[in-house]
Amino acid sequence: MKNLGIKTISIILTAVTLFCSCAPVDDVADYHDELRQSDGVWYAPVVEGDESYPDLAGDGEYSLTETPDTPSKTSQESALQTAASGGASYPSAASGGAGVSNKQNGTAAKPSSASTAASKTTAQTTTTTTTATTAATTAYTPTYFSSNTKAVWISQWNLQSVFSKNKTKSSFETAVKAMFKKAKDYGFNTVIVQLRPYGDAFYPSNYYPWSYFVTGTVDKAPSFDPTEVMVSAAHAYGLSFHGWLNPLRLGTTDKMNATSSKWQTKKWYTNNKGDYVVQVGNYWYLNPAYAQTRQLIINGAVEIMQKYKVDALHIDDYFYPTTSASFDAAAYKSLGGGKTLKAWRTDNINRLVKGIYAAIKAKNSKIKFGISPAGNIDNCIYDLYADVTTWGKSSGYMDYCMPQIYYGYYHSSLDYLKCLNRWKTTVTNSSIQLIPGLAAYKIGYATDGGSNEWSTDNTILQRQVQDAKSVLGARYGGFAIFDYDSIFSTAALNSAQRSNLAKVIK
């Protein structure tokens, strides 16, 4: 103790004082409901039971209730060190189960009125601690290949067997390293890894339940943090790690029913079904008309970059799942403001995309944000309400565009070169990298768009990369392959395509 400085002793005494002034939480779901972190400061709802989220996007949207409240601030010196520091201390129950340990065995301390008052007298100490806690992610300089991205998507389906066969951290790490080594040895420099496929998470989250892909059970935590393992493994091989999120899609009815009521998506499913969450086909979707649903998505995105040294965040093409007016009739009636349904829905998606971008940049301006829209631009604009024209010419929406140009050269309605050229004239902002996404999953298709080329031609992917370089010129930012299992399949035609692509990948 004799070597401790005055500041260190002050921090220790402050932490002890705050801990003693707090009561333990028996149900960590209460902790999940009452605490949110933004800029190193814990926010608690003003009204008991209300759920106020921090305004991470900076647009004045705080609350998940209809009438936003200004959240009261309590000191960050509450019981838990947040996972934003990159460590493994987080509330296990709030993460969906007791399988993930923390220093307090899954319990947290809820700030009392005394701790709120105490925070006013310990502002300097709190600031010091906050800086230390968030320094790792705030100062992180990402690995990003701005002009020559060679990426492969790794979907939840590619990871399903990895999760099911590897229940311990060591075995999972071994399996993931083998995947990433294969990608690196082949010539890829970037992995785009699914982290949130169905309103669930492959990591301990304050906003989303554990994915059933991880343990086989909805809302059940594993004994380790798989995302931490994957990010570390990617960086060990010099790979850029892009965290892939599906923004609006939730689970099927059985998965929603199995989700704990502590999660906000389940509360909307229970209390606002058909409005805040809407069923289309087999799946439920968040309705982006509401500031509260958009803010949940934004907060969930920022949470990932606070927890992990991801090099980019990435969303795919699942925006509005239908053009039917019944999807959001109530919201349109109350919030439409005289706009056409198309203009209003487009504005909702623009708000969401811009909000994610702004929130990411507010935390770390070096982290990239990319979007992978559907390859057919007309479908983007008229069916998904994804305003790719605005995103492609403006600042503040995305750092890279990775359109899914999943067409062969002889597709009857939209061939590869026609689609590629149209994207070139759509993404005109020179600061936005244009990275075509290519369809390895179609290798072996008997017919696609009236053509049998995917089952007879083993040079398609190779030629598509070459043509992308030629057509895009200085705008060429690389390419991405969907998906890992397809490109590394041992089937004869896949192997031939892979061998030919290798000629232009290195």
- In this predicted structure, what is the pLDDT of residue 174? 98
Cα–Cα distance, 11 to 381 (Å, whole number) = 54
The alpha carbon of 415 is separated from its chain's Cα centroid by a whole number of angstroms, namely 31
Q: 40-49, 151-160, 199-208, 351-360: lowest mean pLDDT where?
A: 40-49
For the chain, the domains span 6-138, 149-246+290-505
Cα–Cα distance, 118 to 14 (Å, whole number) = 9
| Distance (Å) of CA 289 to CA 30, 293, 328, 343, 459 | 27, 8, 8, 12, 44
How large is the average pLDDT for residues 427-450? 97
Q: 44-58, 216-230, 350-364: lowest mean pLDDT where?
A: 44-58
Q: What φ, ψ does residue 42 adopt, rounded to 5°?
A: -85, 135
Q: Above 90 in pLDDT, residue 119?
A: no
Give per-residue pLDDT as tens, 361-374: 999 999 999 999 99
- In this predicted structure, what is the pLDDT of residue 138? 53
- In this predicted structure, what is the pLDDT of residue 314? 98
How large is the average pLDDT for residues 237-254? 98
Q: Above 60 in pLDDT, residue 182?
A: yes
Domain 149-246+290-505 = CATH 2.40.30.10: no
- In this predicted structure, what is the pLDDT of residue 181? 98
Which residues have CB under 8 Å from 106's CB, separation 6+? 28, 91, 92, 93, 98, 100
How large is the average pLDDT for residues 464-485? 97
Which residues have CB under 8 Å from 201's CB, separation 6+? 195, 207, 208, 209, 210, 211, 300
How large is the average pLDDT for residues 150-177? 97
Q: 37-46, 160-169, 278-287, 366-375: lowest mean pLDDT where?
A: 37-46
SS3 162: helix
Give per-residue pLDDT as tens, 397-419: 999 999 999 999 999 999 999 99
- Segment holding 476, helix H or strand E: none
Give the max Cα distance, the chain: 80
Give per-residue pLDDT as tens, 309-334: 999 999 999 999 999 999 999 999 99
- In this predicted structure, what is the pLDDT of residue 333? 97
Cα–Cα distance, 61 to 52 (Å, whole number) = 9
Give per-residue pLDDT as tens, 31-64: 222 222 322 222 222 222 223 334 433 433 333 3
